[in-house]
Amino acid sequence: MGNYAFGVDIGGTTVKIGLFDRNGCVLDKWEIPTVKDNEGSSILPDVAQSLLEKMKEKGIGEDDLEGIGIGVPGAVDSEGTLVSGAVNIGWKPFNIPKVMSAYINVPVRAANDANAAAFGEMWQGGGKGYSNMVAVTLGTGVGGGIIVNGDIITGATGAAGEIGHIHMEDSETEVCGCGNKGCLEQYASATGVVRLAKRRLAQDDTPSAVRKGTLSAKSVFDAVKDGDEVAMQIAEQFGRYLGKGLAAVANVVNPEVFVIGGGVSKAGDVLLDLVKPELQKYTFPASRNVKLALAQLGNDAGIYGAAGLILCEK
């Protein structure tokens, strides 16, 4: 049994890589560029070369390497096959472990990058100690990673956890990125908070710090912390939508904890305080003691989760 594992998180611009010990501590982390030429055909060889150099540098042999975990921006099935390719990096469908282990002969596992990040938060982040967890990413959009009994749920077509597209609002007139109207993402993402803010500000002329400077999710939550009343109204509306949406998720999979990450989550505890009462209000009693926590690994969640695919013992 090896003492080390690599966690690899392949993004559209860079590949993040981490060297982990058995306890899930990151010993080293670095990045290499993602070369997307020729359908991204050099990405895995580049990664392999970088890993081999690191092994040489650290004096780690193949027999001391437990394996390599890889997160990729596309739907991946439980065998590690990229089901429909990964358009951001030019990849067509193929079995990732098969190809990667041809370069370095150790166990290789692959997963969707968002799911890997969710897994990372469960293993070493905000969801540590839990095995039934939903990771919620509040960024440009709203994403979800659903973990049941320690395993990531991928769904029939790799689209499990698309919780940002739960329908919330019949009266919505603007169109979501998915083509529907009234999706959770239209209210609970960074752009969603801005949408709610613009609508609130247009209602009347009540003075507010939110009217000054550049309007963003951050400016709204900063004003909330300063006690701004209009900002609080916007944030409460955000909390109602997100709480109600997460309640629907809780009524389906009954998780122990929601771990909230992404740019909007930088608002911190104030965000959890807004969401919690709404979440509890709309959740079935037996599922109501679900916890809310903040993500802890930030941009490193992907490499943690990828390494966790190899090292995490349930």
Interface with a second copy includes 114 (CB under 8 A)?
A: no
Minimum Å gap between C-beta 178 and a second copy is 6
Smaller CB separation from a second copy, 27 or 252: 252
Interface with a second copy includes 102 (CB under 8 A)?
A: no
Interface with a second copy includes 248 (CB under 8 A)?
A: yes
Smaller CB separation from a second copy, 104 or 168: 168
Interface with a second copy includes 167 (CB under 8 A)?
A: yes
Q: Which stretch binds a second copy (CB under 8 A): 9-17, 35-43, 190-198, 252-260?
A: 252-260
Interface with a second copy includes 178 (CB under 8 A)?
A: yes
Q: How many residues does the chain have?
A: 314
Q: How many residues bind a second copy (CB under 8 A)?
A: 43
Q: Which stretch binds a second copy (CB under 8 A): 59-67, 99-107, 146-154, 215-223?
A: 146-154
Q: 119 near 308, Cβ under 8 Å?
A: yes
Smaller CB separation from a second copy, 16 or 165: 165
Minimum Å gap between C-beta 264 and a second copy is 20
Q: Which residues bind a second copy (CB under 8 A)?
A: 75, 78, 132, 144, 146, 148-149, 153-163, 165-167, 178-180, 244, 247-249, 251-256, 281-287, 289-290
